[in-house]
A and B are shown apart, each in its own frame.
Chain A
Amino acid sequence: MTRRLDVLVCSGAACVSSHSAAVRDALSREIDENGLSNEIRIVETGCMGPCELGPVMLVYPDGAFYIHVKPEDAAEIVQEHFLKGRPVKRLLWEDPEARRIVEGKKQIPFFAKQVKVVLRNCGRIDPENIEEYIAADGYEALGKALTQMARNEVIQVITDSGLRGRGGAGFPTGKKWQFVASATGETKYVVCNGDEGDPGAFMDRSLLEGDPHTVIEGMTIAAYAVGASRGYIYIRAEYPLAIKRLQIALGQARKMGLLGENILETGFSFDIEVRMGAGAFVCGEETALIASIEGERGIARVRPPYPAVRGLFGMPTLINNVETWGNIRHIVLNGADWFRSIGTERSPGTKVFALSGKVKNTGLVEIPMGMTLRELIFDIGGGIPNGKKFKAVQTGGPSGGCIPEKYLDTPIDYESLKELGAIMGSGGMIVMDEDNCMVNIAKFFLEFTSDESCGQCVPCRTGLPRMLDILKRITSGNGTMDDLDLLQHLGEMIIETSFCGLGKTAPNPVLSTLKYFEDEYREHIEEKKCRAKVCTDLIAYRIDEDACRACGICAVNCPVGAITGELGKPPYIIDEEACIRCGTCLEVCPFGAVHVLSGELCNQDKREGSK
């Protein structure tokens, strides 16, 4: 009997965390019990994107897209949908706009505006099966490069495509390849930077987990073009699933003669080794990454000489980011003109983003460059949940900046984002709403970068903690207006004088929030007010006398016993001195009687309280 249905169960990291494996097992059992195992196949794929809705699964050929699937739903899905052809409506994605049940994945706005190039196979094929990759034109680009193209022709097509480094800085990829090709050394290396260290970023992880062969093929093509014989994939130890799938993929490629000695019998030899990082943000910087592969402390080295001339083990080295590698095979196969037809003139192609924070549809998305921030956040992301107001979007992680609402119509490309004081970065995009304090966000990033500074150069090692001190002062209500100038001055100096990319970009989150949200800084200093009610030193909790029903739940839950009162005799009272501002009372009050205050009123109350 021929196969009737393919059931694609997402096995990306987020869906695995939501127990997709149990769903798969339950489905598989039901399919067996109904004697359908010859007709229906379950495929475990990489990330499909909408992580918030996991576990998700997609049924082909009808395209029904199921969300929040539980193991106990398996019987109904098999009975109703697989046997009787009626998709289980209650589990299908419901389009919140149209209030209708969406059956086909293509009709869902989250997917409709995306253009999948790099992620083409993610969520479509089984990443642990090389045959599925090959069936999706896999390794065809490698074959084309090795048998029909000269080395310089490969470099030329990458140069012509205008592809720029997807790690964030946007250096022209073809130029980098050219440098390595013309460098001399007894060995050359090709390295994949998979040290995805930005908090809020999971693009590389998803690609390596969902389609590892794409990266391997890209690296092998590059090795041929620049004359390298050995490759390293440097990957965070925090990504065990990606490491496992990479190892499987490398083994399968070797077995098929697509990696190792005499690839495709062309006489070209190349092999790849996986190297695990060990938790150091600075290792995303290319020279620190090289030091780490060599088994050293991950400390950045002087450039020039650039790695293209003297890199890993002192040899010419080509380093590209995971997503950059993911573009290569498509460009080789479809040509530079095709690639340039997507995106903008100076930033051709697509960009993968990890959309998270205060946005309805969190997850992994791929869009053509040039789409506006508004389209990405509101059309694909579905806007801000719970009726809250958009405040800012943060791009580029600890090296990037916060972009306010008035620039939402800015197109997403390298230059435009840089102009705003943010950067493209590797693809983390975190949306913030009115409940997020921008001074607190700046402090958060500075805590991160001060902690991750490797300690080699003074501006970064000493300067960042000083900036952090000032931010702590401001968020605790002890800042002065002079502090704002000091932050600006110090930030600019650190950018100017730091040794490597970490220090050179670390002040960006502070400078960009100072630029766009100076009024929030001022409020913290002058009015002792945190409008988002986040900075605990500037807020107070109050129980509304009229709303309080004296149920005592707050008092029972208060971890420090700061709430007193008598059952049935409102109101309960919070002892200001004892309160640690943890917010538990607000969380547990069934009547919404607990309020948070900040600014004048609360200061006035404090003064009165102390009388």
Chain B
Amino acid sequence: MNDVQLKNPMYAELDRVIDSYRDAKGPLIQVLHRAQEIFGYLPPEVQQFVSQRMGIPPSKVYGVVTFYNFFRTVPQGKHVINVCLGTACHVKGADRVVEILREELGIGIGQTTEDRQFTLSAVRCLGACGLAPVMMIDEEVYGKLDRAKIKHVLQQYAS
């Protein structure tokens, strides 16, 4: 870590975040959440920066980043589609939703379209089981999905 990095406003912000947790106990996961908000993902450079600034071995930072599903080490598309694969959605045909999205976007779970518009991802449960099957695009939840609705929703995001 060095002054060169700190001239980058994103690193400078992360530096302030780490500073604000100085008195907290065990804040690594909280810092990583904020780091991912700032950078969009957690590449090795960012993990290293966190490691040095917090005095935590890089092996441990990497261990935590790779343990939790929420942290990403590769960049995402402009819009992230999270298909819910929870039980209620499964019972109501979440597999079909994934299949339809695969047909429409040409990508599977964990992949990003070539134009970097969409990343397709899966979540365990969004807790919107009453509307199953559901997917979340960025922060917006779409429920009671069928082929027509999925197509319609995707059109709103394609640009």
Contact = CB atoms under 8 A, between A and B. Distances in A.
Interface in B52-92: 63-64, 67-71, 85-92
Contacts of A18: 131, 143
B130 A198 contact: no
B134 A17 contact: yes
Interface stretch (B4-12, B110-118, B120-128): B120-128
A17 B126 CA distance: 11
A430 B92 CA distance: 11
B85 A356 contact: no
A397 B129 CA distance: 13
Q: How large is the interface on B (under 10, 10 to 19, 20 to 34, 35 or more residues)?
A: 35 or more
A397 B87 contact: yes
A89 to B, nearest CB: 24
Given A14-B130, A237-B70, A278 B141 contact: no
Interface string A419-449: 0000000001010100010000100110010
A278 B29 contact: yes
A176 interface: no
B30 A280 contact: no
A51 B128 contact: yes
Contact of B129 (A202, A297, A584): A202
B150 interface: no
Contacts of A441: 90-91
A298 B67 contact: yes
Contacts, number: 152
A71 interface: no
A279 interface: yes
B49 interface: no
Contacts of B26: 293-296, 313
Given A278-B71, A362-B130, A199 B86 contact: yes
B92 A357 contact: yes
Contact of A237 (B33, B127, B128, B141): B33
B87 A444 contact: yes
B147 A587 contact: yes
B143 A444 contact: no
Interface in A193-249: 196-202, 205, 237-240
B65 to A, nearest CB: 9
Interface residues of A, number: 59
Interface string B89-109: 111100010010001000000
A583 interface: yes
Interface in A269-314: 273, 275-281, 292-298, 313
Nearest to A200: B87
Contact of B25 (A197, A198, A313): A313
A295 B87 contact: no
B87 A14 contact: no
A504 interface: no
B142 interface: yes
B130 to A, nearest CB: 3
B104 to A, nearest CB: 10
A198 B86 CA distance: 8
Contact of A298 (B32, B68, B139, B142): B68
Interface in A508-563: 559
Contacts of B140: 17
A432 B71 CA distance: 34
B17 interface: no
B97 to A, nearest CB: 12
A430 B88 contact: yes
Nearest to B103: A559
Contact of B70 (A200, A278, A313, A584): A278
B154 interface: no
Given A297-B64, A587-B147, A238 B127 contact: yes
Contacts of B18: none
A279 B134 contact: no
B46 interface: no
A363 interface: yes
A582 interface: yes
Contacts of A559: 103
A197 B68 CA distance: 13
B139 A240 contact: yes
A17 B142 CA distance: 6
B76 to A, nearest CB: 15
B29 A362 contact: no
A428 B87 contact: yes
Interface string A580-611: 00111001000000000000000000000000
A39 to B, nearest CB: 33
Contact of B99 (A13, A198, A582): A582
A288 to B, nearest CB: 10
A14 B128 contact: yes
A436 B91 contact: yes
Contacts of B143: 14, 17-18
A292 B29 contact: yes
B68 A278 contact: yes
A173 interface: no
A285 to B, nearest CB: 14
Contacts of B89: 199
B124 A281 contact: yes
Contacts of A200: 86-88, 125, 129
A517 to B, nearest CB: 15
Residue of B30, B87, B90 most packed against chain A (CB within 10 A): B87
B88 A199 contact: yes
B25 A362 contact: no
Contacts of A397: 87
Contacts of A124: none
Contacts of A587: 146-147
10 contacts: A14-B131, A54-B131, A201-B127, A276-B29, A281-B124, A296-B64, A356-B88, A356-B129, A430-B91, A430-B129
Given A201-B127, A273-B24, A356-B88, 16 more contacts: A17-B141, A51-B129, A51-B131, A199-B90, A199-B124, A200-B87, A202-B125, A278-B68, A295-B26, A295-B28, A295-B30, A296-B28, A297-B64, A428-B87, A428-B129, A587-B147
Interface of B: 24-30, 32-33, 63-64, 67-71, 85-92, 96, 99, 103, 123-132, 134, 139-143, 146-147
Nearest 6 pairs of A and B residues by beta carbon: A51-B130, A199-B86, A295-B28, A278-B68, A279-B69, A202-B127
